[in-house]
Structure 1
Amino acid sequence: MIRQLTTLSLVALIAGCASQKAESPKPTSAFDSSRNPEWLSPDLYPNGAVPAKEPVVRYGRYTLVSTEPGSSQRDLMAQIIDVTIPSGMSPSIRDAMLYVVDRSGYTLCSPSTPHVDILYTRPLPAAQYKLGPMTLRNTLQVLAGPAWQVKVDEVNRQVCFVLRPGYQLPDPVASSAQLYAAKSPTTLPPAPPSADKASAVVVTAVPSASAITAVTPTDVQGSSATTQTLSPVVSAKDGPTIPKAVPSAAPSSSAAPVTSLASSSAEASKKAAPAVTTAPQQSPIPKPAPVPAKPLPEIWTASTGSTLRQSVEAWAQKANWTLLWEPEDLDYPIAAPLRFEGSFEEAIKQVFPLYDKAPRSFVVDGSAAQRLIHIAERKKK
């Protein structure tokens, strides 16, 4: 009996579960429009987007790095400059400035800008061959000096220089005239003495030599002779001078008076030799000849990130030289930008001595006639 009751109860329980499963729930709509929308909580932007403190990023196990931009990235003029100009160079102020602004994002204004070329062409003082560490803003002001004010155009990222109030530019006309007078002084001929300063030209009419003196020589025995002598011709101020005949009859027993008269007439003719005497006029000072522009020197640069061999190979290709680099494994990276002016040979003579104290130095040889350069390793003794 007990087994039958247990079996019947189990069958009734299974049937009740089956009937409950058969009942399906009532279908509901996908969106209940009867409920009002609710504000999302918590609200992240009650006052709009507010910049928070920049997060710190973990790099490695013990390193935390801030994601805020550095001061030199926000203000490019705050870049730190640490430059050493090679002592073998003789740069100008513009060369040093180009060296400083290289890869800084700024450029210099053109030398054709009025008056800036006066600053650019000055030689770099020896005290400024070592610049830094200091900011780019201070470096440019140190190179310009107290007479020039640095003017930065942030739109074009261009740097120029303006003369400060109280300083005066040299007169280009006066300076060029003084330079020409110092190189080629002009000596003017002295003005002839004249009683009448108003007359600039004096014209003198001179008769022919035959009309100056007419002498009738006496006989050897001292007979009387008649001598007709013209007065000496003197320079006239207001027109031609007409010679006046002065007759003179003097007995003479010898030829001495005739000789003295002839000599005096000859001296008079010598004094009246120039037919037209013109006072020399002051010649205008010639203008200084234009100085031919000097050819710009070639520039040889080596940028940071390249190697010594790559830079020299590029120089040799630019100068049409053949480069033989013997040690394949001998090369050095360029840690700081290099810049040289002059010919290709001058650049080679300046760059390789920088590595004389390196663990492995160089021996440079070549032929200018063949345009060949040979690089080898210096053997240690």
Structure 2
Amino acid sequence: MKLHPALPVAATLLLSACTANVPIAHIPAPPSSSPVAGPAEVVHTSRYTLVSLTADETLRFPLRQPVSHTLSAPKKNRTLTRGDALHIWLSGTGYGLCLPVTDDIRRLYTSPLPDIWRSAGPLRIHDALQALAGPEWAVVTDELTYTVCFRRTSQTLS
């Protein structure tokens, strides 16, 4: 049995005539509470890799990067000091400890390092420096000379 060529067209017209045209309501998008960021600058480095051209936070603020350190026992039965640990935590950041060393700072640097600090992290470097020094000391960074200093929070000696 051969179908008439107009039968599919007639069926389509019949079925489409039965549907109602519903107008689409335009719903506005809610206003964004955060400012719209511009497009990020990226560059192709290989076929499937895009790299951002903006510096991330750890490049702009090296003391905010999270790091883990395991401190080995020193040679010749020498005890690890807090000064040794401070130097190790600052290694690779470009920062150093400030000079001159006062008597209070010398007392901090030469005090023995608690064993709990032999393996620590991941911690942000600034937080590790503050915890190593203790609550009596405030960490002060000089971004011009890339030095880290410690200032007593109270002047009472214990």
Instruction: Bin the TM-score by the shorter chain.
Output: 0.5 to 0.7
Shift of 1:59: 2.6
CA pair 88-117 structure 1, distance change in 2 beyond 3 A: closer
Hey, what does 2:43 align to over in structure 1? Answer: 57
Residue 152 (1) aligns with residue 141 (2): yes
Query: Which residue, 90, 98, 104 being the options, matches 1:101?
Result: 90
Secondary structure of the 1:131 match is: strand
Per-residue CA distance 1:198-229 (angstroms, 9 max, x = gap): xxxxxxxxxxxxxxxxxxxxxxxxxxxxxxxx
Measured in 2, the distance between the counterparts of 1:98 and 1:143 equals 11
Matches within 5 A, 1:169-318: 169=157
Residue 123 (1) aligns with residue 112 (2): yes
- Of structures 1 and 2, the one with the larger relative CO (CA 8 A, separation 6+) is 2
Q: Is the 8 A contact 2:67 2:125 kept in 1?
A: yes
Shift of 1:69: 0.6
Secondary structure of the 2:108 match is: helix
TM-score, length basis structure 2: 0.67
Hey, what does 1:76 align to over in structure 2? Answer: 62
Per-residue CA distance 1:36-94 (angstroms, 9 max, x = gap): xxxxxxxxxxxxxxxx5332222322222211111111112212221100145631000
Q: Is the 8 A contact 1:149 1:161 kept in 2?
A: yes
Identity level (%): 35
Per-residue CA distance 1:16-49 (angstroms, 9 max, x = gap): xxxxxxxxxxxxxxxxxxxxxxxxxxxxxxxxxx
Measured in 1, the distance between the counterparts of 2:147 and 2:74 equals 29
Shift of 1:105: 1.1
Residue 140 (1) aligns with residue 129 (2): yes
Measured in 1, the distance between the counterparts of 2:69 and 2:115 equals 13
Structure of higher CA gyration radius: 1
Per-residue CA distance 1:276-329 (angstroms, 9 max, x = gap): xxxxxxxxxxxxxxxxxxxxxxxxxxxxxxxxxxxxxxxxxxxxxxxxxxxxxx
Q: Is the 8 A contact 1:80 1:136 kept in 2?
A: yes
Amino acid at match of 1:56: V
Amino acid at match of 2:130: Q
Measured in 2, the distance between the counterparts of 1:98 and 1:111 equals 16
Measured in 1, the distance between the counterparts of 2:65 and 2:102 equals 26
Measured in 2, the distance between the counterparts of 1:88 and 1:124 equals 12
Residue 91 (1) aligns with residue 80 (2): yes
Per-residue CA distance 1:146-203 (angstroms, 9 max, x = gap): 11111111111111111113x6125xxxxxxxxxxxxxxxxxxxxxxxxxxxxxxxxx
Measured in 2, the distance between the counterparts of 1:160 and 1:72 equals 20
Matches within 5 A, 1:1-40: none
Number of aligned residue pairs: 119
Q: Which runs of 5+ in 1 are unaligned?
A: 1-51, 171-381
Q: Which runs of 5+ in 2 are unaligned?
A: 1-37
Shift of 1:114: 4.1
Amino acid at match of 1:168: T
Hey, what does 1:163 align to over in structure 2? Answer: 152
Q: Is the 8 A contact 1:119 1:144 kept in 2?
A: yes
Runs of 4+ in 1 over 3 A off after TM superposition: none
Measured in 1, the distance between the counterparts of 2:116 and 2:88 equals 16
Measured in 1, the distance between the counterparts of 2:58 and 2:70 equals 21
